Amino acid sequence: MSLMCLTSLMCPLLGSGPPLRLVGGEEDFEGRVEVFHGGRWGSVCDDQWDDRDAEVVCRQLGFGGVAKAWSWAHFGQGSGPILLDAVKCTGNELLLEQCPHGDWEKHNCDHMEDAGVSCSPYTGTLTLSLMHSHTHA
């Protein structure tokens, strides 16, 4: 089975671990975290979910800057399977799959515990230019 990515936001590192997507956010860079595994999309439980996990998700999706973790289905409840639980990233991983986690599809959660993230939409560095203005009286 092959998976086609519709946008780079959905799975830019295809072939480098299970694809991720963000669902239910007002912007493309935020939402409920869903992972593709076993031929279907599913959510991640928020047990032990924190900003280090969010940082890895945002990195995998190609976002830089500050990442924020959300719990308690902040971006709405999923309806498919809950595929991951007890994700414990250090924040240095490139892919969510590299983080320690429970076995696939083994969890003690329901969808009101779906994990989410907000990523910075900016990549690279931000340059700020200040213009000096002279006022003559």
25-49 pLDDT tens trace: 998 899 999 999 889 999 999 888 9
Per DSSP, which regions of the chain are E strands? 20-24, 30-37, 40-44, 68-70, 82-84, 116-118
Number of H helices, E strands in the chain: 1, 6
| Predicted local distance difference test score (pLDDT) of residue 51 | 95
pLDDT in tens, 46-80: 888 999 999 999 999 998 778 999 999 999 999 89
pTM above 0.85, yes or no: no
Higher pLDDT, 10 or 88: 88
**Rounded mean pLDDT, 107-121:** 88
